[in-house]
Amino acid sequence: MSDTAYRAGFVTFVGRPNVGKSTLTNALVGEKVAITSSKPQTTRRAIRGIVHAPNGQLVIVDTPGMHRPRTLLGERLNSIVQDTLAEVDVIGLCVPAGDKIGPGDKYINEQLDAFPKAKKVAIVTKIDATSRPGVAEQLIAISQLRDWDAIIPISSYDGVQLDVLTEQLIALMPESPALYPDDAVTDESTESRIAELIREAALEGVQDELPHSIAVTLDDMAEREDKDLVDIFANLFVERDSQKGIIIGKGGERLQEVGSRARAEIEKLLGRPVYLSLRVKVAKEWQRDSKQLGRLGF
Ligand SMILES: Nc1nc2c(ncn2[C@@H]2O[C@H](COP(=O)(O)OP(=O)(O)OP(=O)(O)O)[C@@H](O)[C@H]2O)c(=O)[nH]1
């Protein structure tokens, strides 16, 4: 093996909810391929972001956070995580610089023992929000969890050390030809990226259990014949009638805000003007019902 070898492979970031995994994926890819939110556990599917470098390629598989399942949705999410971890070449455990390493981080770290084939990297995230001595302390604390293949402090917000992280991850990948064409950023369909952008907009400002009750499907997407406009018809599902009211808001105000936030993001993605029609529907207890989960794409 020589240092000039081209390397390519799969990496996934794990860690407690809200540690910055999705934001890191987007920052490395340079485009929004994973939705982010200040609500924990909003990542639902294995999204592949692809990072291209002259000497290699990283395929990032974004996973839901690991947690104890309380619903059928929770169980499905956990099995997505297990399947993903069994397949990847490198696992990056993310821990924010400013949070003391706690039982949650240790639990996840211990779970990684079940995947001996994967190289393991510790990523200290959000270093922009912590003092230098604080970051140094965290690096020492994390080094004590296991014998890591690398420990890297980063900030997705400031773009600090992202190139170093990419370089180190590629160095840990097997020699391989490129796995995706050099212009690919994700293998998610445009439709599912649009549905995720709508879900992201709907998550903004909602509280308690509601975030987990929201699901989005696209009914139709079509080009207008007479002008440069894409019509998108989407459904926003909630679990209860009471939640429907919250999503729609007084006089439909909230739904309008969600629609215009989502539309702005979708227009960025498509690079063209969009007309977005959102309909709110109730799918009773969909998180616990296997038929409904299937219909909503889980
Ligand atoms: N200060 C700072 N905040 C960040 C950074 N990266 C992410 N965050 C914030 O941390 C929160 C969680 O980020 P996500 O990327 O959604 O976290 P996640 O780990 O993917 O969360 P789940 O999808 O819930 O598992 C968001 O409010 C982000 O804006 C960073 O580099 N610096």
Contact by Cβ (8 Å): 49, 186? yes
What pLDDT does 83 receive?
77
Mean confidence (pLDDT) of the chain: 86
What pLDDT does 208 receive?
61
Find the mean pLDDT for residues 95-116: 92
Atom 2 of ligand 1, residue of closest alpha carbon: 126
Instruction: List, for residues 234-253, the tens digit of each pLDDT value.
Output: 999 888 888 888 889 889 99
Q: In what order do the strands lie in the sheet with 150-153?
A: 47-53, 56-62, 7-14, 90-96, 119-125, 150-153
What pLDDT does 286 receive?
65
Find the mean pLDDT for residues 266-287: 88
Out of 12, 25, 28, 36, give the residue to mutate to test ligand 1, the one with the largest number of ligand atoms within 8 Å of its CB: 36
Q: Lowest-pLDDT range, 115-119, 288-292, 294-298?
A: 294-298
Find the mean pLDDT for residues 289-296: 67
181 or 89: which carries more pLDDT confidence?
89
Residues with CB under 6 A from ligand 1: 15, 17-23, 36-38, 40-43, 65, 125-126, 128-129, 155-157
179 DSSP 8-state letter: S
What pLDDT does 92 receive?
96
Q: Which CATH architecture has domain 190-295?
A: 2-Layer Sandwich (3.30)
**Domain parsing of the chain, residue ranges:** 7-171, 190-295
Per the annotation, where are the binding residues for GTP? 15-22, 62-66, 125-128
Instruction: List, for residues 165-216, the tens digit of each pLDDT value.
Output: 999 999 999 999 888 888 888 777 788 889 988 988 988 877 666 667 788 8
Q: Is the pLDDT of residue 43 over 80?
A: no
Full-model pTM: 0.73
Instruction: List, for residues 52-66, the tens digit of each pLDDT value.
Output: 999 999 999 876 655
Q: Which CATH number fits domain 7-171: 2.130.10.10, 3.40.30.10, 3.90.330.10, 3.40.50.300?
A: 3.40.50.300
What pLDDT does 297 receive?
62
Half-sphere exposure of 279 (CA within 13 A, CB side): 11
If you search the block for the tokens 């084939």, which residue do you land on? 117
| Neighbouring residues of 48: CB distance < 8 A, sequence distance ≥ 6 | 33, 59, 60, 61, 62, 186, 187, 188
State the Cα angle at 83 between 80 and 85, rounded to 5°.
105
Q: In what order do the strands lie in the sheet with 230-238?
A: 215-223, 230-238, 274-282
Q: Lowest-pLDDT range, 72-86, 153-167, 198-212?
A: 72-86
Contact by Cβ (8 Å): 80, 61? no
What pLDDT does 138 receive?
97
ipTM exceeds 0.90, yes or no: yes
Work out the pLDDT band at 77, boundaries 50, 70, 90: low
